[in-house]
Chain A
Amino acid sequence: MLRHDRKRQGTDFVEPDLPITPMLDMSFQLLAFFIMTFKPAPTEGQIALTLPKEEGGQNISIPSPTDENKPKHYIVTVAAADNGTIEKMTIAEEGAADPKGKDLGASVANYHAELAALSAQLAREGKPGKLTLRIGDKLIQEYVVQLVDQGIRAGFNDISPVPIDPKKV
């Protein structure tokens, strides 16, 4: 504790004095409390999703050959393993002759590469793209977000996740 003589010898001058030390002590205690309890929240962000139009179903319609501006609709089917990871992925264009589509395996890198190639092709044709993810029930959210994230990064803005079997949900 600091000590100050309020009245100095040999003069009538009285200096007002504010005891700073207790305030500093308290401030340090507060500072220590906030430093110890400080936990910076991780920066969160959002991914916008379009909900499917039909109740529980896929937003699939028959393409009209006359409609040039209609987006090309790609459907990625993601089968989930029992532990919630990706088992297998296939990609097909809506209304394509081969309904099974192209096999992408379980690799997210293959999925991204395929989508990036399709997106580049759409950009050349000047057409918008739409992506529907038909996802197995057991797939965990971490992989769902990963697939949507890769889809957006590949250039698709309209992404709808739907279950493989909508009647079950």
Chain B
Amino acid sequence: MSHGGSDKCEPNFTPLLDLVLQLVMFFMLCANFVMDQTNVEIKLPSAIAAKALESTVDYAIYLNVNEQGKVILTASDQFTDTEGKVTDTLDNAEQVRIFLVRRAKEDLAAAGPAGKDKPPRSVIVLRVHKECSFEKTYAIMKACRQAGYLKVQLRAIRHSGAE
């Protein structure tokens, strides 16, 4: 923005604008990184041994379990109960089992002949509220097992151990 021959003094805003737009882009991208599978109401316990989800895991089912032991489904999931009522929460272990059996069937169908006689390809990620009792957590884990899933991953906040 040079003005040859002009006696006007003008600040150069272009680098400033570049910087500001880069910052805007950074914050926009960070805002998009908040995953829709997670639920902010769930306060997770912390663990040092918690590891990042393996890159080989392509399919994951997120179950957000609140303090009362109810599963809050993600935005992309819905549950239709036996009476045809559509809900976004699973209130008991039986509903969790029915939901996961349906998902397991979808998994097996999507896997095709190669997935026959194998457990469902999805990994179940349990995001359990830190105040939820083991009785309720275990009922959900049992429902996972009954639906054919062999392994679950418990979510926790990773920390280094240094206080």
Chain A interfacial positions (CB closer than 8 Å to B) = 2, 8, 11, 15, 20-21, 23-24, 27-28, 30-31, 34-35, 37-38, 40-52, 55-56, 80, 84, 135-142, 144-146, 148-149, 152-153, 161-163, 168-169
User: A114: shortest Cβ distance to chain B, in Å?
Assistant: 17
Q: Is the CB of A162 within 8 A of B138?
A: yes
Nearest opposing residue in chain A for B10, CB measure:
A2
Q: Which residues of the partner chain A approach B28 to less than 8 Å between Cβ atoms?
A: 34
In Å, the complex CA distance between A162 and B137 comes to 10
Interface size band for B? 35 or more
A49 lies within 8 A of B152 (CB): yes
At the interface, yes or no: B98 with Cβ under 8 Å from chain A?
no
Q: Are B31 and A52 in contact (CB under 8 A)?
A: no
Instruction: Provide the bound-state CA to CA distance between A80 and B136, in Å.
Output: 14
- Cα A84 to Cα B156 in complex, Å, equals 18
CA distance A17 to B31 in the complex (A): 34
- B1-45 interface bits toward A, Cβ cutoff 8 Å, 1 = contact, 0 = none: 001011000100110110011011001101101110010000011
Question: 27 A-B Cβ contacts within 8 A?
Answer: A2-B10, A11-B5, A21-B13, A23-B17, A24-B17, A31-B23, A34-B28, A41-B33, A43-B158, A44-B38, A44-B155, A44-B158, A47-B49, A47-B156, A48-B151, A51-B150, A55-B145, A139-B133, A141-B130, A141-B133, A142-B45, A144-B45, A146-B45, A153-B49, A163-B134, A169-B139, A169-B142
B contact residues around A8 at 8 Å (CB) = 5-6
Find B27's partner among A38, A45, A52, A137 (CB 8 Å cutoff): A38
Residues of B in contact with A (beta carbons under 8 Å apart)? 3, 5-6, 10, 13-14, 16-17, 20-21, 23-24, 27-28, 30-31, 33-35, 38, 44-53, 125, 127-135, 137-139, 141-142, 144-146, 149-158
Once the chains bind, are A45 and B50 in contact (CB under 8 Å)? Answer: yes
| A-B contact sample (20 more), CB < 8 A, given A45-B155, A169-B138 | A15-B3, A20-B13, A23-B17, A34-B30, A38-B30, A41-B33, A44-B158, A45-B51, A46-B125, A50-B150, A56-B142, A80-B134, A140-B132, A141-B129, A141-B130, A142-B131, A145-B47, A148-B47, A149-B156, A161-B138
CA distance A160 to B46 in the complex (A): 19
